[in-house]
Structure formats: structure tokens, C-alpha cells
Amino acid sequence: MKPNSLELCKKAAAEKAVEENITENMVIGVGSGSTVIYAVKKIAEMDKSHNLKVKCIPTSFQSSQLIIENELKLASLDQYPLLDLTIDGADEIDEDLNLIKGGGGCLVQEKILASNSKALIIIADYRKKSEFLGENWKTGIPIEIIPLAYVPLMKKMEKLGGKPQLRMAKAKAGPVITDNGNFIIDVDFGILKNPLKLNNKLNTIPGVVDTGLFIGMVSKAFIGQKDGSTLVLEGKNL
């Protein structure tokens, strides 16, 4: 493959998703990640050419900056507690369109917006698709936690069969701090045959804020293929 072909896959999927789903006066949740950049640029282009008057709610500092840089209207959940749709990326997508998200550290905000949207539209390249979660994404499930509890929580993850690692920052000493002021532990549970069961177990543990498992939330996934086409898959919650 040519060096830029992966970016073309991302761009094709993002633009198709925007063209087929964004209409006038929508309130849109804007996710995080490299593929979302192409989506925001396309939304801005359509907004200007068709005067769509869309409102955009960010999931992270990065997406907030993207909205501002592309001169789109920045809004909040306080103003619009029900969104028309959220468009976001994923770290891995299984056959049932369950997701692992949170590689960029924004999983809680992303899940909040997704859960308050009429539709969740996922855009990704072919590398993110697998039969089961954990096949391609080897870093583990991102879990946002209360800092006070990180040691006992890591021990509990081990008892559940996981291999936890506290996510460390790359440009500063110490752990990654989320936009909510929390820590993230990445827990490798291997191949996930029943992600719903695991997600339910994890979310009952005090100190866990939320997990990067997005179960049964996706309306449609637009996946850029090697040949430049885009595979469109429909979720069960349509």
C-alpha cells in the first residue's frame, strides 16, 4: 500500500458518513481521533456551502479545538441535552458493532454524548474491524478510574483475569490525567467473546467511572477499505 492510502481510507469513510447523515439544524456530537478530523472538515465545508446551521458538542479538548478551528458553532450538553447524532472513531469494532474506545483517553465524555444521541455513527479504517474485540487491539480495555482507588482496582482487575497497566504520560512524569481529572488503566482481558458480561462486571466496581466498551450503541459504522471503497454496516439499535 502507498504511504498515504490509509489516510485516504479514513477520509473516504468520514466524508461518506457526513454526506449521508448530516442535515440542516442538527445538533452533532463530535468525537476524537485522526479519522474525526476529516469528518469535521467535511461538516464545515457542507455547513458553509449549504448554510446548515449545525451545532457541535465536543467530547474532548481536541474536538473542541477542531470545532473552533473549522468555524463551526460550539455548543454544550447543557444547551442541548439530546443530540441528533454523534460521529466518532473507534479503536476496534467487532462483528456485532460493539466497540473498544478510549485509546485517546476521552472514553467517558464520548460515551456520555453517544448515550444522549439519537444515533451513534462510527468512522474507521479497515484495520479496526475484527471478529471479536481484543483480536487487533492489544493494548487492553481503557477504564477510567478514580485516582484514589487505582491500586486496589488493579488488584481486582487481576482477579477478574485481566492484566492491568496504569497509563503513563509520555511528555510528563506520572500517569495520564483525563479531562475529568481521573486516571486510566488499560486492562488486557484477551479475546472478548462476551463483552457485555464483562462490561457489566466492571461497571459495578466502586472507583470505576466507566469503561471503553461501547456495547450495542452503534447505529451505523462506515469503514474505509483498502481499495478506496467504504463498507457501511448497520447496528442492532436502529
How many Å is the Cα radius of gyration of the chain?
Answer: 18
CATH (residue range 5-130+215-234): 3.40.50.1360
- The whole-model pTM stands at 0.94
What SS3 class is residue 105?
coil
For 7-19, the pLDDT digits (tens) are 999 999 999 999 9
User: Predicted confidence band at 171 (pLDDT cuts at 50, 70, 90)?
Assistant: confident
Contact 110, 59 (CB under 8 A): yes
CA triple 201-206-208, angle to 5 deg: 70
User: Predicted confidence band at 2 (pLDDT cuts at 50, 70, 90)?
Assistant: low
Percent of all residues in the chain with a pLDDT value above 90, rounded to a whole number: 92
Distance, in Å, from the CA atom of 9 to the CA atom of 13, rounded to the nearest integer, reads 6
Considering the domain delimited by 141-210, tell me its CATH architecture.
2-Layer Sandwich (3.30)
pLDDT value of residue 232: 97
Torsion of CA 128, 86, 108, 116, to 10 degrees: -140
Domain boundaries, the chain: 5-130+215-234, 141-210
For 111-147, the pLDDT digits (tens) are 999 999 999 999 999 999 999 999 999 999 999 999 9
What SS3 class is residue 36?
helix
**Does residue 173 register a pLDDT over 50?**
yes
pLDDT value of residue 27: 98
For 64-105, the pLDDT digits (tens) are 999 999 999 999 999 999 999 999 999 999 999 999 999 999
**Does residue 33 register a pLDDT over 80?**
yes
User: Predicted confidence band at 174 (pLDDT cuts at 50, 70, 90)?
Assistant: very high
Supply 174's cell numbers.
Answer: 506520572
pLDDT value of residue 237: 58
pLDDT value of residue 235: 86
Active site residues: 110
